[in-house]
Amino acid sequence: MKRTLYVSAVEGRTTMPDTRAVAAAVLLVALAGCGGIGGDAAPGGLLGDASLSIETVSAPASVTQGEEATVAATVRQSVDADGTAPLSVAIRLDGRTVASENRSVPPGNETTVTAALDTATLDPGEYEIAVSAGDVTETRTIVVERVRPATFAVAALDAPETVGYGDDLVVDVTVRNRGDRAGTRPVTVRFGDDENASRTLDIALDGGESATRSVTLEAVRGDEGDHRLVVETPNETRDRTVALDHPSPYGKTALRLYVDDEGVDRNVSDVVAAATRYWERNDERYLGYPVAYDRVGEEDRADVILRFDRVERCGVEGNDTRYFGCADLLVDEPRTPMTATVDPRISDAEMNATIIHELGHVQGLEHGAEPAGLMSATSTLATHQPVKVHLRADDGAVTGPVEDEVAAALDHFAGRDDLAGSDAFAWEFVDEARDAHIQITYDERGDVCFADGGGSCTVAGEYYGQEDVRLESLDDEVVAWHVGASLAPVLLEEVPPELTGEAERREREAWPE
């Protein structure tokens, strides 16, 4: 519905028929030609014979509620008018006069009436402005629009087409306040499913204002491929795709691992978990890309299968070789799935090292690659860090002097720098053969090595591939020497003379000096 605002050039002619319109107005009058604001009015305030015309009426087509609207009307007195006619200008709203001016306009001159209308108290809607001069009326329509609250929209989103795994993603976001009021709103930028790749900014904008912000998402991560880059305000969401380049040949960090452990006579879940944790801790150092293992219960979902079974042959090696494990070697792209096999008969300590070794192949490492000890083609005491030793006695607990002698021999090798295939030697005692790389058995009356006297020898241990150094019928003073003589051929590049069978009793008792 239109509401009418009358600006009349004849006193008493201004009306406001729509009682719903409520406004405040400020009247400014500018005169063109003779006469000015506050000019003398003719008695009675009548037009007499003056001939008036409305030259122009200007007003905005629309205005936001609360903004000031300026209305300007130019009224002209004709040249042949009889004298100077008094002109009364008034604005009435809702039947009430809110502004009024009297002035004289000489013939051939004009006056411009300017009114500034405050729309703060006007209801939103359409209003008609009427300007009358004598019997001539000109009208204009003005729409008072409702004040729009602050509404934030994403006007532009600029980001690279591709980002590398672990690199920073820099995003430029342009936000526009489509509302009329000023406001502060949160603007969130997030990338993919990485919960850490998200930032929220509080942006303040005036009505109609735009602003561009640069947002850096640090070290973004995810699987290779397209990921959604999302910019979100409380009022709008905008997105696009950014491709992530993953360095892993698998194109992702998390590898699904299926473990076939039916061939194992014990629970080896902890052994498997320790081996996968090794790669998760050292992935960037040795692989150059991140890896994490998620164990799954279905073989057909696996990226990698770890199977426990005897390995009779691996690659082109001959059948006379003893294998602890075998695995597919990753070259360029992985097959689906990749498989690693580990012999179930080996000890947990050896099994842990073997799983790490075979998963290294699955991840693209060849023999001799770092970590060199674990990726060595041959498993020896020199390749384990630390070597786990199970010391036991056939007829009860190991005595203190014997344990001290064994420890002294092992410490001797830890202090040498001429080790074979290793930069350092470390060791520790464990309580069970299952947890050991090597056993040392002390037997006061044993006859396994020699039927007619004491000595030492190396025999098969409790687990496949495990060795047992037997110390039989030996005096405590020479226990260290016998341990050293048994381990030197494995640990040292060259066996020193004092650890050979040629050493005399005195030398044996004194070793290690």
Q: Where is average pLDDT lowest: 17-26, 101-110, 263-272, 495-504?
A: 17-26
Residue 113 corresponds to which tokens in the numbers above?
A: 């009436």
Predicted confidence at residue 36, as pLDDT, reads 35
The verdict on residue 411 lying in a domain is yes
DSSP secondary structure letter of residue 301: G
The verdict on residue 392 lying in a domain is yes
Q: Confidence band (pLDDT; 50, 70, 90) for 281?
A: very high
Most confident stretch, 57-61, 238-242, 491-495:
238-242
- The HSE-up count of residue 237 (CA atoms within 13 Å, CB side) is 5
The answer on pLDDT for 112 being more than 60 is yes
Predicted confidence at residue 212, as pLDDT, reads 98
Residue 482 corresponds to which tokens in the numbers above?
A: 């016998």
E-only strand ranges, 346-466: 387-393, 427-429, 438-443, 455-460
Q: Integer distance in angstroms from the first to the last C-alpha of the chain?
A: 113
b (16+ CB within 10 A) / e for 426-445: ebebbeebbbbbbbbbbbee
Q: Which among 349, 379, 409 is the end of a domain?
A: 379
Query: 429-451 pLDDT, tens per residue?
Result: 999 999 999 999 999 887 888 86
Q: Confidence band (pLDDT; 50, 70, 90) for 284?
A: very high
The verdict on residue 15 lying in a domain is no
Instruction: Enumerate residues 6+ apart whose C-beta is below 8 A from 368.
Output: 375, 376, 377
Domain co-membership, 274 together with 330: yes
Predicted confidence at residue 224, as pLDDT, reads 95
The answer on pLDDT for 12 being more than 90 is no
Q: Are 440 and 480 in contact (CB under 8 A)?
A: no
The verdict on residue 25 lying in a domain is no
The verdict on residue 31 lying in a domain is no
Domain co-membership, 277 together with 364: yes
In the chain, how many domains are there?
Answer: 4
DSSP secondary structure letter of residue 328: P
Domain co-membership, 333 together with 409: no
Q: Are 324 and 343 in contact (CB under 8 A)?
A: yes
Domain co-membership, 367 together with 301: yes
Domain co-membership, 505 together with 419: yes
Q: Which among 357, 379, 401 is the end of a domain?
A: 379
Domain co-membership, 240 together with 333: no
d(CA 75, CA 103): 12
Domain co-membership, 335 together with 414: no
- Residue, of 435 and 94, whose pLDDT is higher: 435
Predicted confidence at residue 41, as pLDDT, reads 37
Predicted confidence at residue 270, as pLDDT, reads 97
d(CA 71, CA 113): 8
The verdict on residue 263 lying in a domain is yes
Secondary structure of 362-384 in the HEC alphabet? Answer: HCCCCCCCCCCCCCCCCCCHHHC
Q: Where is average pLDDT lowest: 71-80, 207-216, 244-253, 320-329?
A: 71-80
Q: Which among 343, 363, 379 is the end of a domain?
A: 379
DSSP secondary structure letter of residue 66: T
The verdict on residue 19 lying in a domain is no
CATH of the domain at 301: 3.40.390.10
Query: 162-209 pLDDT, tens per residue?
Result: 999 999 999 999 999 999 889 999 999 999 988 889 999 999 999 999
Predicted confidence at residue 87, as pLDDT, reads 62
- Beta strands 467-472; 455-460: pairing state: antiparallel
380 exposed, middle or buried (CB, 10 Å; 0-12, 13-18, 19+)?
middle
337: left (phi over 0), alpha (psi -120 to 50) or beta: beta
Mean pLDDT throughout 81-104?
57
CATH of the domain at 480: 3.30.379
Tell me how far the alpha carbon of residue 250 is from its chain's centroid.
20
Q: Are 390 and 429 in contact (CB under 8 A)?
A: yes
d(CA 70, CA 204): 30
Tokens 């939103």 — which residue? 124
Query: 134-148 pLDDT, tens per residue?
Result: 677 778 888 888 888
The verdict on residue 317 lying in a domain is yes
Residue type, 445: R
Query: 479-491 vs 400-414: helix axis angle to the nearest 10?
Result: 30
CATH of the domain at 201: 2.60.40.10
Which residues constitute the domain of residue 99? 52-145
- Residue, of 339 and 196, whose pLDDT is higher: 339
* Partner residues linked to 111 by β-bridges: 31, 75
Predicted confidence at residue 345, as pLDDT, reads 97
Domain co-membership, 357 together with 410: no
Domain co-membership, 222 together with 137: no
Domain co-membership, 209 together with 261: no
Q: Please give the mean pLDDT across all residues of the chain.
A: 85
Predicted confidence at residue 319, as pLDDT, reads 61
- Apex CA 374: angle with CA 372 and CA 376, to 5°? 60
Domain co-membership, 210 together with 267: no
Predicted confidence at residue 318, as pLDDT, reads 56
Mean pLDDT throughout 29-35?
35
The answer on pLDDT for 158 being more than 70 is yes
Q: Where is average pLDDT lowest: 115-129, 138-152, 269-283, 478-492?
A: 115-129
Predicted confidence at residue 52, as pLDDT, reads 75
Q: Where is average pLDDT lowest: 25-34, 251-260, 299-308, 418-427?
A: 25-34
Most confident stretch, 20-29, 103-112, 383-392, 445-454:
383-392
Predicted confidence at residue 83, as pLDDT, reads 61
d(CA 513, CA 508): 10
Of residues 97, 80, 89, the one with CA closest to residue 131: 89
Domain co-membership, 130 together with 230: no
Q: Which helix (H) or strand (E) holds 276?
A: helix 269-286
- Residue, of 410 and 125, whose pLDDT is higher: 410
Predicted confidence at residue 188, as pLDDT, reads 97
